[in-house]
Amino acid sequence: MGVRFGFDLDNTLIDYSASVVEYCKQQKLGYCSDIRKLKKYLYELDALGYLWQRAQGWLYTEGLKFAKESEGSVSFCEFLTSINYKLFIVSHKTLYTPEFCGKKPLRRLAMNWIENSNFKTYFREPHQICFESTRELKVNRIRDLSLNYFVDDLKDVFLENEFPCGTKKFLIFEKDLQDLQINCAPTFRHIKEHLLNEPK
């Protein structure tokens, strides 16, 4: 079956920093390029989360035209392909945004973005890209695919009870975490170095 390497999509392979800047400019929110800080700020304004859901709906649809491949992610995929790893994307993404956000097709737009990005070389087959409606289903998919490694930007995914114990976890863009079961990876280069230094 070969070594199987999985990635989250949003905020892992896709960098929304420029999209956040554009959204804040359009909404006159002041400068911000960090999606987590934007989420925190909007929840402070609206504890029910409607403002954040509206922002997220825009970022993952219209905002995709400003989004870029995360730094080092494409070259990392090239490296994995060169050593014959099989690549997969497993993303927690519903079919559409909520009704009050226009019910826009999240998955279709994400697929269009991938097709027009440098990732298209590495994710050519339909079975390589999986979208799941809940975090639990995402974790189940990771298990069903028998992934040897998985990269995500959210540690909560790795903390799910059903996350497969045989899948090595990399928390991307994280420098320090008090959890010996999760490998922090500030950059994709750090993951590459980890793989190169693993015992054969």
Give residue-wise pLDDT tens across range 127-142.
999 999 999 999 999 9
CATH number, domain with residue 185: 3.40.50.1000
The per-residue pLDDT for 180 is 67
Cα distance between residue 12 and residue 71, in whole Å: 10
Cα distance between residue 108 and residue 49, in whole Å: 24
How much is the average pLDDT of 158-179? 90
Q: Which of 42, 66, 90 is the last residue of a domain?
A: 66
Closest CA to 12 of 97, 108, 119: 119
Q: Are residues 29 and 9 in the same domain?
A: no
Q: Which of 33, 51, 66 is the last residue of a domain?
A: 66
> Which residue range(s) make up the domain with 100?
4-15+68-196
Q: Which of 46, 66, 86 is the last residue of a domain?
A: 66
Q: Are residues 47 and 79 in the same domain?
A: no
Domain count, the chain: 2
Q: Are residues 31 and 106 in the same domain?
A: no
Record the pTM.
0.94
Give residue-wise pLDDT tens across range 45-92.
999 999 999 999 999 999 999 999 999 999 999 999 999 999 999 999
